[in-house]
Amino acid sequence: MGNATGVEITGPLGERFAEILTEEALSFLAELHRSFDGRRLELLDLRAQRQADLQAGGTLGFLPQTREVREGDWRVAEPAPGLEDRRVEITGPTDAKMTINALNSGAKVWLADHEDANTPLWENVVQGQLNLRDAVAGRLAFTSPEGKDYRLNDGPRPTIVVRPRGWHLPEKHIRVDGQPTSGSLTDFGLYFFHNHLATRPYFYLPKMESHLEARLWNEVFTFAEERFGRPTGTIRATVLIETFPAAFEMDEILYELREHSAGLNAGRWDYMFSVIKKFRTRGREFLLPDRDSVTMTVPFMRAYTELLVRTCHRRGAHAIGGMAAFIPSRRDPAVNKAAFEKVSADKTREAGDGFDGSWVAHPDLVPVCREIFDGVLREKPNQLDRLREDVHVTADDLLNVAATPGRRTETGLRGAVSVGVQYLDAWLRGTGAVAINNLMEDAATAEISRSQVWQWLHNGVVLDDTGEPVTKELVERIAGEELAKLGGDLTAARDLFMEVAVADDFVDFLTIPAYERMP
């Protein structure tokens, strides 16, 4: 293993970890940390200031100081090789089996996830980088404990696009000058260092809340390109618009990254979480009903996706649709049929709206998504020529959460508690994407569950079906009843869920206290 100056590795050394944690790679991480971590922390402070403003009665809107950017005539760079046609993208973590399945799926793009579908268990962080490097080299293989062999197919494979952790998460097992490094810079730096000559270094950027955070990423990209003598624009990045504030800064985010931009994605689940989080103390105007009621056609979600397509295509950038959480079952034909129908309807809406492609979470859904986008695109690689000039979205449209139909029920509350606890149990054991009730749950959907419980509890919600007020005692009783149904020892997960769902102070991300519990 490397021994770069000022760098300390506190995690255990697994087999082949030294191939990733070389002195040269760690020196690069140290350069990134010393150059950019101070600004990262300043931007996180700005998030906190904005949250305080919202809780004091402020609101969100299009920024007056960046009006020239929104009204200006500019475009992002032309689509990069391997990213011209993105009609179907598959997402998933970077363990060996999932990596091979994704690369054999027939999708156009694979989102190699070091974020919401992964957990930052030290072994996952480094082994994921090993798997990515082996996949890029075409030599990745895996044999399951049952003896089943997994190998990469010959022929075309999806373009790899890596999603690093968000700006808010540290990497506690790598310290520079005595301080933990950024999870974002660690994931980016290790992948770029080991693969920038062997493949195109493309990234998905999560959880950003402002164009200033996009500017920091752009500075990181420019630094890396110059450091290794790569042309400007070698690195490309697609930004997930998955926070409420970012929806008001889409133009500005594209502008900051314009030489490195590969478009925007509608990160729908984290977006719902962010809507709850940002206005969590503002009463009925921002109270959402049961999660199942908040579809992509409700007014505030419709406005967000329409604006995303309009903004992207005006700037020559791809607009990528969101994840349909439904997953098929190879054992239950009825579940399988329902999942296919729901995914088909979701992707049909997106293709009709002008999206250039969309996400699926399971290889069996790749043909469903591809067929729908094939029917719209035909021989074209994308829909960048559909400018959607008919779309006119105002700030009030984006903020119109109150128009969301639906009820707040005990069934919805029970579902939120049960899903939240089950997901956290898996997360603490190192698994970040979990099939629960025929839905693919990840950190984003778990965040919706716990933040909705918190919002209902702290805003005096009375359940529509039972007439019972949501109290801490009710949540605790339901948690106990749901745990009894599930069986097993879920005490640690239950305790963590209660900490982030009912405490007086709202924790920004449940993964922060969860990571503290992780070795």
Residues marked active site are found at 163, 442
Least Cα distance to 209 among 171, 236, 182, 248 occurs for: 248
CA–CA distance, 200 with 380 (Å, rounded to integer): 23
Burial 375-400 (b: 16+ CB within 10 A, else e): ebbeeebbbbebebeebebeeebbbb
**Four-CA torsion 27, 31, 37, 40, nearest 10 degrees:** -120
Q: Per the structure block, which two tokens stand in for 512?
A: 């922060």
Q: Are 319 and 264 in contact (CB under 8 A)?
A: yes
Question: Cβ(402)–Cβ(288) under 8 Å?
Answer: no
Strand order in the sheet with 179-182: 7-9, 170-176, 179-182
From 45, 3, 501, select the one nearest 280 (Cα to Cα). Answer: 501
Residue whose C-alpha is closest to residue 288's, from 118, 384, 416: 416
DSSP 8-state assignment for residue 242 = -
Collapsing DSSP to helix, strand or coil, 487 comes out as coil
Closest among 273, 264, 262, 353 to 306, alpha carbons compared: 353
* Helix 211-227 with 23-55: angle, nearest 10 deg: 170
d(CA 161, CA 410): 40
Angle at 277 between CA 272 and CA 280, to 5 degrees: 115
d(CA 108, CA 398): 31
**Cα first-last separation, the chain:** 20
Question: CB neighbours of 458 closer than 8 A, spacing ≥ 6?
Answer: 280, 281
How far is Cα 94 from Cα 430, in angstroms, rounded to an integer?
12
User: Which residues are within 8 A (CB) of 270 and not within 5 positions of it... i.e. 6 or more apart?
Assistant: 116, 206, 207, 240, 242, 243, 444, 447
* 3-state secondary structure labels for all residues of 354-385: CCCEEEECCHHHHHHHHHHHHHHHCCCCCCCC
DSSP state letters, 335-361? HHHHHHHHHHHHHHHHHHHT-SEEEES
Q: Tokens at residue 309, please?
A: 């397509």
